[in-house]
Amino acid sequence: MDHEDIGIGSFACAFGDVECKPENIPDFETRWEEVSFGTEFTDMGCTTYRTMTGPVENYVIDAVRRTLQDAGAAAADVDHLVFTTSDPILALVPSDFAVRVLLALGMDDCVPHVVSYQRCCSSLTALQHGERLFADPDVTHVVVVALDFVPDDPDRVQSYAIFGDAAVSCLLTRHEPGLVRLVSSAVRVDPAGLCGNDSFISRQKVADRTLTAVLRLGDRQLGQITKVFAANLHKPLTLFNATSIGLLPDTLHFADTLAAYGHCGNADWMINLADYHERVGIEAGATYLAQSLAPGFYACGLLEGRA
C-alpha cells in the first residue's frame, strides 16, 4: 500500500490532572530498594508524574476532542477509532468503554478497534493498523488513541521506570500532509523477555533486529535519523539501550517529558513527538524514529516530516 497520501498529525495529550512526586508514594523508599539494585533514584531523571483522578474515558475523550479541533475535523468525519493500551491495563478497562467514548464524542457511525498484548509497544502497531484501514477507499479519517494508567501508586515504581497516567491521540487523514507520514514500522519479540528471563544480550539482539528491519523497509540509513522519540524509561537505561544499537545520545528526545510525566506506557513516543514539535518543530523531509520497548518486545517506526 502506498503511504504517501496519508498524513499523521494533530497530536493531543491529556495527562493525569494531579501532579505528584515519586518520593511521596507510600513506602517509596522500601519499594525503590526492592527494585533498584542499589542505584540512586535522583539519577533516574523522573521528578514528577501525573495521576488520573477520574474515569479514564474522560481523558481519552478530551484528547480526541482536541485532536479533532486542531485538525478542523468533525466527529462524523471519523471512520475508525483505534484504541491502544498495554495488556495489564486492557484488563482494567470497562467492557462498555468503547461505546461510552464513541457516544460521548458523537461518533455513532465510527468503527472501534483495540490493539494490545504488546505491552508498551502496542501503539506503534496501532498506528500501522490505522494506516492499513485506508485500504478501504471510502475511509478518510482514522483516530489512534493511546492510553495507560496505574490504579495503585506503589505499582508505579519499577526497576526500569516510574509510571504516569496519560491518554494521547492523533489523526490519520487521506490526502492531507499532516505533521508526519509513516515510512515503515516493525515490532519484534524477545522470547527470553516473554518468560521474564531477558538479559542485556537478548534485549540488544531484539532491538538491533527491529531497527535493522525498519531501516531496510524504509530505505534509510541510521545516520539519516534526525531525532528519536524514545520511551521514557529511567534516564541511564534509556541512554544505554540507545547507544547499544548505535543511536547517538544527542538524537534522543525524552529527558524533559521524563522529568515531568514519567513513563506513560505506550503513549511515550507520541508525547515526545508532540513535545519536540512544540519546542523545536518537525522539519519537512527529515527522518524521525519513534521507539518503544517492553519486556519481550521492541518496536520502532520511521516517520518523515511533512510540516
Tens-digit pLDDT profile for residues 27-84? 999 999 999 988 999 999 999 999 999 999 999 999 999 999 999 999 999 999 999 9
* Percentage of the chain lying above the pLDDT 90 cut: 96
* Cα(170)–Cα(66) distance, integer angstroms: 9
When pLDDT is cut at 50, 70 and 90, the band that residue 3 belongs to is low
Residue 38: predicted pLDDT = 86
When pLDDT is cut at 50, 70 and 90, the band that residue 1 belongs to is very low
Q: Which domains occur in the chain, in start order?
A: 6-174 (3.40.47.10), 180-305 (3.40.47.10)
Kindly tell me if the per-residue pLDDT of 2 is higher than 70.
Answer: no
Residue 95 grid coordinates: 467492557
Tens-digit pLDDT profile for residues 9-24? 999 999 999 999 999 9
Tens-digit pLDDT profile for residues 193-238? 999 898 989 999 999 999 999 999 999 999 999 999 999 999 999 9
* Cα(75)–Cα(77) distance, integer angstroms: 5
- H or E element at residue 35: helix 28-36
> Is the CB of residue 144 less than 8 Å from the CB of residue 170?
yes
Closest CA to 230 of 170, 299, 163: 299
Residue 4: predicted pLDDT = 78
Angle, nearest 10°, between helix axes 97-105 and 56-71?
Answer: 40
Query: What integer best gives the mean pLDDT of the chain?
Result: 96
Closest CA to 290 of 209, 165, 185: 185
Tens-digit pLDDT profile for residues 184-205? 999 999 999 999 898 989 999 9
Parallel, antiparallel or unpaired: strands 80-84 and 111-115 = parallel
Residue 204: predicted pLDDT = 95
Tens-digit pLDDT profile for residues 154-188? 999 999 999 999 999 999 999 999 999 999 999 99
> Is the CB of residue 151 less than 8 Å from the CB of residue 180?
no
* Cα(182)–Cα(230) distance, integer angstroms: 16
Tens-digit pLDDT profile for residues 112-122? 999 999 999 99
* Percentage of the chain lying above the pLDDT 70 cut: 99
* Cα(109)–Cα(144) distance, integer angstroms: 16
Kindly tell me if the per-residue pLDDT of 263 is higher than 50.
Answer: yes
